[in-house]
Amino acid sequence: MRARLQIYHVLGGASGIASMMLWCILIFFNPYSVEISWKPALTTFVMLFLPAGLAMLAVMYSYRLLMLVAFGWSILPSLYFAATPGIFAWFGVTSLGYLFTYLLMKPYRLG
């Protein structure tokens, strides 16, 4: 049986991967800091990277509730970064990608 690729698969997958890549840039290649601070790295990992992983799982298994949880989990730090100038404002776009993916997913119907 062959799985059909829907638009929400592409949007959710791209948002999750983009958020993970942005987190790596924020922590390891940040032009605004000289050294890696592990406490902010752990905080941003929990607030930005883990919801991206959850969004990827939600897309793979077509589970709407997980996508909504990923959006709710990441919206506040994403809004904070969206208000800053620079590349990290794209975290707001990835969080909106989670929301649009949730809205595009069809609810599961029994029977």
Beta carbons within 8 Å of 81's beta carbon, 6+ residues apart: 88, 89, 91, 92
Domain annotation covers residue 23: yes
Domain annotation covers residue 30: yes
Structural contact between residues 48 and 25, judged by C-beta atoms closer than 8 angstroms: no
Overall number of domains in the chain: 1
Q: What is the pLDDT along the chain (111 residues), one digit of tens a residue?
A: 466 788 999 999 999 999 999 999 999 988 788 788 899 999 999 999 999 999 999 999 989 999 999 999 999 999 999 999 889 999 999 999 999 999 999 876 655
Between the alpha carbon of residue 23 and those of residues 3, 6, 15, 103, the distances in Å are 30, 26, 12, 25
Provide the whole-model pTM. 0.89
The token pair that represents 92 in the structure block = 């707001």
Domain that holds residue 88: 7-104
The token pair that represents 34 in the structure block = 């000289």
Domain annotation covers residue 24: yes
